Structure 1
Amino acid sequence: MTDILCDRFIAPTDPALLAQSWCNHLAPVFEAELAPDADLASPISLTTYHFGEALVGSVTAPAQRLKRSARTIARQGVDHILIQFYTAGQSRVGAARRSVEINASQLVVFDLTQPIVSEAGPVSATTVMLPRKLLGDQIATIESLHGKPLDYRSAPVRNLSYTYLSGLVASAASTEAHQLRYLSSAAADLCAACFQPDANQAPALDRLNKVAICQYIEQELASESLGIDALILRFGLSRATLYRLFEEEDGVASHIRERRLLRAMKLLGAAGGRPRISSVAYATGFSDEKTFSRAFRRRFGFLPSEALAERSLAHRGHDSAPVLLGWMRSLSA
């Protein structure tokens, strides 16, 4: 008998309840709505195994619309990365002002601190959810991959990661408790290796500079003086070079603002005592609470005070939370 915890979607005996039951099961991760033409007679499954520091599983889903809203993010306060390796089907994912198509033999990264919408046909995938901290140095680049497709069948390390994760799912029944931390550590290392820049993507010096700058930005988010001038002084680069390195993020200033607001969302949603909004503002480099609240509302569509209210509501219902949501929170412990 396996020592690993397993959570499975169990279809209700009444077919009329299937759609709502499926959406409820997905609710810890996505707000789901089945497509009008979804084939509910085909197999539907979601199996998740708790490997201690990683949640690994497989999914076969009908056509559906998936959304992770800013309010869901605020309510949960988790800081995880979800990676799906598509084995069949396709979807169109909208995130960070872009929309891309994900196909079989591609993986897609979901940064669970960022909103996203996915219009998916019937799909099958192998999945892994990891706390951001386990990806180590890749924290400097993983945010910009949110919602982006990457081929894995044609990339040896990514294909190795898929093979390992699908192997974990297949062998979970014989896994023992003392093996979990080694298996989840290997999963994290392989996933981190997936996001090393390809040699032909950009000059090596550019890649190294961007990683170093992103890491410095993460360390200095609380500093009001963090900005273009500070980065020019620190790294000896021109404004034009800084903009080129962060062109996909609409420039380095836009990247800094986004990282500050995402950090603020994480702080507002974290477990523990209720933080003061002014403290969160100062901790993320804003000069005052009013400026912070205005920027937060522009980004997420509601005020920081409403984010705190969402968090309080979620934690009041902690004891009755779905198994999957409880596991997600346990990854942060």
Structure 2
Amino acid sequence: MSLGIAVRNGPAEPVTPWSKEGAFAARSPIRPQSFEFSTGNLPRNEQFEAWRASYASILDLTAPAPVEDGFAAQHQVWDLGSLAFSRVSTNGLAFTGLAGRGRHDPLDHWLFTMLLNGHSTTLAAADRLEGDPGSVQLHPLGRAFEGNISRSEMLMLFVPRDLCRDLAHVLDAAAFSRLEGGMGRIFADYMISLARRLPLLDVSELPELVSATRAMLLACVAPSRERLEEASTSISNMLLERARCYIQANLHDPDLDLKGLLHELGISRSRLYRLFEPTGGVMRYIQHRRLVAAHVALADANDRRRILEIAESCCFSDGAEFSRAFRREFGYSPSEVRAGTHHGAPGWPSLDLDVPTTPTQRLNTLLRRLQG
């Protein structure tokens, strides 16, 4: 199953010490245990029953269409020790929690679900929960509920009650709800980052991952000063990445400003300033990204626009101002780039592996280029 993530409605390997022979050997990373299942390998008339059986310990599934016609579904599940995480793709179906089927021993996990596409509806006593792409929902599997879901892709995080036993009342109070606001969006981004990172993770990193996930979910479900402090590093990283993505998506919009960024992130102005303090401030970062975009366009032999047109597309209305800012940023003029005197990554030499360089600098050069 592909792990490219899109919500639609959006390590270095550890090394061992020197061996006895004196050679420096790299230890191959040991990945967390995972498994995949797809109904595509089964006869069409057996596909739904196989999918239903794979969830029988937590849900009773019902197909809305004749099962003889086939049922397309697949998932990949990662065993994280104290947590389980999965990415799921399924045709539409109805579901019922086992507590609602009279089972007295249903699994009592909390299930956090984030739809990547599709829609879901959950009914539980007086609660009605609508799920849309990008929203994170909380289902307690030990309580009665039922619902339906359209053809969808989703991410699921299974949190055992024992992992958060001391704060069970907090999660139970949030049962059958969506994580809303800025903190909810942060946790949605965190789940996407988990899906991307897990295939590259080493098992030695699992305890730290579980601890960070626990801190993150508690900070997002029931924020408090202590919980926010415990998850501060992870939260700041997710906020900064969301800010960078928003800036990049709106880079050529002259109306890109602090107000829109603050609204997107749902944080205070002072918090935003602290996030970008290492890069010289928010507006300094925006200008840098615009100058980088202009540099790339100027170095593109297929881009026939005049320098001023490129400057205007990057939200510089004055040609002289653009030239001065460009020279301050890179140490040479836009016309030099257009003439071919300087090309490749702005401000640094192109990475040409055919040109002899010291081994210690190849990675540095690559990383600087990727930094942009």
Q: Which runs of 4+ in 1 moved over 6 A?
A: 37-42
Question: In structure 1, what is the Cα distance between the partners aligned to 2:172 and 2:130?
Answer: 18
Rounded to whole Å, the distance in 2 between the matches of 1:84 and 1:100 is 12
Identity percentage of aligned residues: 15
Corresponding residue for 1:302?
Answer: none
The answer to whether the aligner puts 1:7 opposite 2:35 as a matched pair is: yes
Question: In structure 2, how many angstroms separate the alpha carbons of the residues matched to 1:121 and 1:39?
Answer: 19
1:68 shift after superposition = 0.9
Shift in alpha-carbon separation, 1:16–1:23, aligned structure 2, 3 A: same
Q: Deviation of residue 44 (structure 1)?
A: 2.2
Tell me, yes or no, if structure 1 residue 148 matches structure 2 residue 148.
no
Aligned to 1:139: 168
Residue 75 of structure 2 is aligned to residue 75 of structure 1: no
C-alpha separation in 1, matches of 2:46 and 2:30: 31
What displacement does 1:101 show?
2.0
Which amino acid in structure 2 is aligned with residue 163 of structure 1? D
The one-letter code of the counterpart of 2:32 is I
Deviations 1:138-158 (A, max 9, x none): 42232132222334xxx3333
Q: Which residue pairs with 2:196 in the alignment?
A: 170
The answer as to whether partners of 1:135 and 1:191 remain within 8 angstroms in 2 is: no
Q: Contact (CA 8 Å) 2:98, 2:144: kept in 1 or not?
A: yes
Contact 2:179/2:220, CA 8 A, preserved across alignment: no
Structure 1 residues 48 and 9: alpha-carbon distance in aligned structure 2, compared to 1, 3 A threshold: same
Q: Which residue of 2 aligns with 1:30?
A: 59
Paired position in structure 2 for 1:191: 217
**Distance across 2 between alignment mates of 1:148 and 1:37:** 32
Amino acid at match of 2:220: C
1:1-25 alpha-carbon deviations (Å, 9 max, x no partner): 6431113223233122111111111
CA drift of 1:80 comes to 1.6
Task: Tell me the TM-score normalized by structure 2.
Answer: 0.47
1:127 aligns with 2:156: yes
Structure 1, gaps ≥5 residues long:
199-333
User: Counterpart of 1:112?
Assistant: 141
Structure 1 CA distance, aligned partners of 2:68 and 2:178?
26
Structure 1 position 109, deviation (Å) = 0.6
Q: Equivalent of 2:208, from 164, 167, 182? A: 182
Give the superposition deviation at 1:136: 5.8
CA contact (8 A) 2:47 2:67 kept: no
> Amino acid of the residue matched to residue 35 of structure 2?
D
Greater RCO, 1 or 2 (C-alpha within 8 Å, sep 6+): 1
